[in-house]
Amino acid sequence: MRSLSAVLTVVAVIVSFWYAACIPMNIKGVLTEAERAGAVVVPEGARERRDLGTFGLVMGNQFAIPATWAQERPRLPAPHQVVVELWQTTVMKKITSKRSLVHHAWVTLSATLLGFAIGTGLGVLLAVGIVHSKVMDMSVMPWAIVSQTIPIIALAPMIIVVLYSIGVQGIIPKAVISAYLSFFPVVVGMVKGLRSPDAMQLDLLRTYHASRAQGFWKLRLPASMPYLFASLKIGIAASLVGAIVGELPTGAVAGLGARLLAGSYYGQTVQIWSALFAAAILAGCLVGVLGLIERVMLKRMGMAR
């Protein structure tokens, strides 16, 4: 009960900060509209107001404050505007509609899941190689690290162009970008996990004259499971970011990235924010599902108490 009130307090603080921020962000637009509608605004004329501080404008035109939360195209939409938009584009729209966020979220989600699967598979394979081969450790690991220092926003268009030139398009390029972002946490986590058995455990297997394969399947792999799940949670969030970024440079017509892009073309800030929230909610759900699988699996393995 106490933790619930703490959570609600934090949410309340964020929401009220957001509402407060809407006032200075939107005040100039609101005043312009109000003046056009015949209201008395101080000072008169949009040009006069252009270089004035927003604080003074708000103080001088307090009547306009409620309007900053109800603009059609605000610079910063108010929370309730985003919630209404989310509601109308998900629950109130048919999934088949091009304006349905569920439809767009599914387009992004499918690329995310495919990329996540590729990235996880690749990451695990690389980690196994790195743990078992010193050469791979020294030759692959630096490149894996370097790969993550390049901003994905710079790399994504190139990946798409290169893949397009060899005839690959559709979901695959987005999945490749997803995989590119998600393989790295899996590699790092799995390398750590596969190396987590201590010297004593390895000595014990040696006294049994166990083969390397037996050591892998019976000791290293099960020991790495908690590490794997921690990595997967980071990986799937990165996958979603990858899929969205992959939708931006192509001018994609569907997907959360496409909604962001279209929103910014047409100044539809409410649409941008609702797409952002849809992405955040989606990521939260994906991480939550992974957490659930982790709980069930570790419990079945006897590792959760």
Partner 1 sequence: MKSTIIEAQNLNLTFQTNDGPVHALKDVNLSIDKGDFVSFIGPSGCGKTTFLRVLAALEHPTGGTVTVNGVSPDEARMQRAYGYVFQAAGLYPWRTIARNIKLPLEIMGYSRADQDKRVEAVLKLVDLDGFGGKYPWQLSGGMQQRASIARALAFDADILLMDEPFGALDEIVRDHLNEQLLDLWARTNKTIAFVTHSIPEAVFLSTKIVVMSPRPGRITDVIESPLPKDRSLDIRDTPEFLEIAHRVREGLRAGHAYED
Stretch that binds partner 1, among 21-29, 37-45, 216-224, 283-291 (CB under 8 A): 216-224
Q: Which of 10, 15, 158, 303 binds partner 1 (CB under 8 A)?
A: 303
Shortest distance in whole angstroms from residue 295 CB to partner 1: 15
* Amino acid sitting at position 216: F
Residue 238, exposed/middle/buried by CB under 10 A (0-12, 13-18, 19+)?
Answer: buried
Could you tell me if 131 and 193 are in contact, meaning their C-beta atoms sit under 8 angstroms apart?
Answer: no
Question: What x-and-dash track marks residues 225-264 binding partner 1 by CB under 8 A?
Answer: x---------------------------------------
C-alpha separations of 127 from 7, 75, 120, 198 in Å:
38, 46, 10, 18
Greatest Cα pair distance in the chain: 91
201 sits near partner 1 (criterion: CB under 8 A): yes
Closer residue to partner 1 (CB): 46 or 303:
303
Cα separation, 23 vs 68, whole angstroms: 6
Structural tokens at position 86: 């989310």
Q: Which of 7, 150, 285, 301 binds partner 1 (CB under 8 A)?
A: 301
Stretch that binds partner 1, among 39-47, 51-59, 276-284, 297-305 (CB under 8 A): 297-305
Cα separation, 140 vs 145, whole angstroms: 9
Structural tokens at position 17: 């900060």
Shortest distance in whole angstroms from residue 201 CB to partner 1: 6
Residue ranges in contact with partner 1 by CB under 8 A? 200-201, 203-210, 214, 218-219, 222-223, 225, 301-303, 305
